[in-house]
């Protein structure tokens, strides 16, 4: 009988184990391949791409495509490179993540520790908003942003991302706080702490893990968004939209190496966050499967 320890592993023979490693290895290659292709081809001269093998390492190494993608490539009609759009994305992501996370934390706190009649319905309505196809709000959102004078501006995008991010952040914090003992809140109440004091002194100090999750989730989601950026970006388009414009531009020769460099630039911040704090991210995704 196989000794079952921490996983559901079963006893297997040599042949089976070899097979397992081969399959796992092949899939590892499958996931790595596109990144590898983008990587090597972003440091090749264009001629080597069109004339040579996509898999081959560069014969001449060059950082020129990266420089071009960053500061000189033609985006739309201006030869600005991706730099200004990168900045737009940063300006959009930081406040949107901060605001939606703070609101989510407060909402989760109220929905678990200050329950009231109908709180489940309120939460259900907030939760469903995570899953709507955003096409259903595009038209009225465009009108409202126009009316508010926020169309095509970074604050407009911040607002949109906060509105449609609250559902997720609330979900995370609510699930996290639900397993936080209510007796602690009651003890603090008897000790004389008020609503905000309890939040600040008792809840927040233990909210580190879920805050990491919420921030990473919101950061990747908002950074990677394309639909809202393309619809409401106007002159303040984020990185994803600019990358798409760069890649899809029909004028001139297709500078594949520049496109690849641009794609990696667009992916870098989220990849970085993922590498630094990926373990928490996975845990957060688990919490995302709506468990009370």
Partner 1 sequence: MGFLDISHVTKSYGQVQVLHEVDIAVQEGEFLVLVGPSGCGKSTLLNMIAGLEAISSGDIAIKGRVINGVHPSKRNIAMVFQSYALYPNMTVGQNMTFGLEMHGVPKPARDAALADVAKLLQIDHLLDRKPGQLSGGQRQRVAMGRALVRNPDVFLFDEPLSNLDAKLRVDMRTEIKKLHQKLKTTIVYVTHDQIEAMTLSTRIAVMNKGYVQQLGTPKEIYDTPANLFVATFMGSPAMNILPATVVMEGGQPHAEITDADGARRLLRFSQGNLAEWADKPILLGIRPEAITDPEGADRKSANIQPLANRVTVTEPAGSDTFVTMTLSGKDVIARMRADAMVAPGEVFDFAINMDKAVAFDPATEARIPQ
Partner 2 sequence: MSTSTTADFRTRLQDWLPKVVLAPSFAVILLFVYGFIAFTVVLSFTGSKMLPKFDFIGFTNYAKLFALQHWTTAVVNLAIFATLYIAISMAVGLMLAIFLDQKIRGEGLLRPLYLYPMALSFIVTGTAWKWFLDPGIGLEKTMHLWGWESFHFTWIKDSDMAIYTIVIAAVWQTSGFVMAMFLAGLRGIDNEILKAAQIDGASNWQLYRRIVIPMLRPAFLSAFVILFHLAIKSYDLVVALTGGGPGRATELPATFMYSYTFTRNQMGIGASSAVIMLMTIAAIMVPYLYSELKEKP
Structural contact between residues 110 and 178, judged by C-beta atoms closer than 8 angstroms = no
Q: How far is the CB of 194 from partner 1 (least distance, A)?
A: 8
Structural contact between residues 113 and 185, judged by C-beta atoms closer than 8 angstroms = yes
Structural contact between residues 266 and 243, judged by C-beta atoms closer than 8 angstroms = yes
Q: How far is the CB of 141 from partner 2 (least distance, A)?
A: 6
CA distance 263 to 275: 18
Q: How far is the CB of 177 from partner 1 (least distance, A)?
A: 14
* Element of type H or E holding 60: none
Is the Cβ of residue 30 or residue 116 nearer to partner 1 in the bound state?
A: 116
Is the Cβ of residue 201 or residue 279 nearer to partner 1 in the bound state?
A: 201
Is the Cβ of residue 195 or residue 226 nearer to partner 1 in the bound state?
A: 195
Find which of partner 2, partner 1, none residue 166 binds, CB within 5 to 8 Å per kind.
partner 2
Residues in contact with partner 1, shown as a per-residue x/- string from 160 to 199 under the rule CB under 8 A: ---------------------x-xx-xxxxxxxx---x--
Looking at residues 204 to 263 of the shown chain, list those that interact with partner 1 (rule: CB under 8 A). 205-206
DSSP 140-203: HHHHHHHHHT-TTSHHHHHHHHHHHHHHHHHHHHHHHHHTS-HHHHHHHHHTT--HHHIIIIII
Question: What are the two backbone dihedrals, phi and then psi, of residue 259, each rounded to the nearest 5 degrees?
Answer: -60, -45
Helices 239-248 and 83-113: angle between axes, nearest 10 degrees = 140
Pseudo-torsion of CA 190, 188, 176, 210, nearest 10°? Answer: 160
Q: How far is the CB of 178 from partner 1 (least distance, A)?
A: 16
Residue 70: other Cβ atoms inside 10 A: 18
CA distance 214 to 222: 12
Structural contact between residues 188 and 58, judged by C-beta atoms closer than 8 angstroms = no
The dihedral built from the CA positions of residue 160, 164, 170 and 176, taken in this order, carries a sign that is: negative
Is the Cβ of residue 51 or residue 181 nearer to partner 1 in the bound state?
A: 181
Is the Cβ of residue 43 or residue 185 nearer to partner 1 in the bound state?
A: 185
Structural contact between residues 121 and 189, judged by C-beta atoms closer than 8 angstroms = no
Q: How far is the CB of 34 from partner 1 (least distance, A)?
A: 44
Find which of partner 1, partner 2, none residue 118 binds, CB within 5 to 8 Å per kind.
none
Is the Cβ of residue 28 or residue 94 nearer to partner 2 in the bound state?
A: 28
Find which of partner 2, partner 1, none residue 46 binds, CB within 5 to 8 Å per kind.
none
CA distance 156 to 283: 31
Find which of partner 2, partner 1, none residue 223 binds, CB within 5 to 8 Å per kind.
partner 2
Is the Cβ of residue 34 or residue 209 nearer to partner 1 in the bound state?
A: 209
118 near partner 1 (CB under 8 A): no
Find which of partner 2, partner 1, none residue 206 binds, CB within 5 to 8 Å per kind.
partner 1
Q: How far is the CB of 262 from partner 2 (least distance, A)?
A: 8
By CB under 8 A, name the binding residues for partner 1: 181, 183-184, 186-193, 197, 201-202, 205-206
């Amino acid at each position: 009988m196989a000794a079952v320890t921490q996983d559901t592993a079963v006893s297997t023979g040599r042949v089976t184990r070899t097979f397992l490693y081969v399959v796992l290895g092949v899939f590892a290659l499958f996931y790595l391949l596109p990144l590898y292709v983008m990587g090597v081809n972003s440091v090749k001269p264009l001629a080597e791409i069109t004339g040579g093998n996509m898999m081959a390492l560069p014969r001449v190494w060059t950082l020129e495509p990266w420089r071009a993608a960053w500061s000189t490539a033609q985006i739309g009609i201006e030869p600005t490179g991706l730099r200004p759009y990168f900045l737009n994305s940063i300006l959009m992501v930081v406040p949107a993540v901060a605001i939606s996370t703070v609101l989510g934390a407060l909402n989760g706190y109220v929905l678990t520790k200050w329950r009231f009649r109908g709180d489940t319905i309120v939460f259900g309505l907030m939760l469903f908003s995570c899953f709507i196809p955003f096409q259903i709000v595009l038209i009225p959102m465009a009108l409202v942003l126009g009316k508010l004078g926020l169309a095509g501006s970074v604050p407009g995008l911040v607002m949109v991302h906060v509105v449609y991010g609250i559902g997720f952040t609330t979900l995370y914090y609510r699930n996290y706080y639900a397993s936080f003992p209510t007796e602690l809140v009651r003890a603090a109440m008897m000790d004389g702490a008020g609503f905000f004091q309890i939040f600040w002194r008792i809840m927040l100090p233990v909210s580190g893990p879920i805050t990491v999750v919420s921030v990473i989730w919101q950061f990747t989601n908002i950074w990677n968004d394309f639909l809202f950026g393309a619809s409401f970006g106007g002159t303040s388009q984020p990185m994803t939209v600019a990358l798409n414009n760069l890649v899809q531009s029909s004028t001139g020769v297709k500078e594949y190496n520049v496109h690849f460099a641009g794609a990696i630039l667009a992916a870098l911040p989220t990849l970085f966050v993922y590498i630094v704090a990926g373990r928490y991210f996975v845990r957060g995704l688990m919490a995302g499967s709506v468990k009370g």
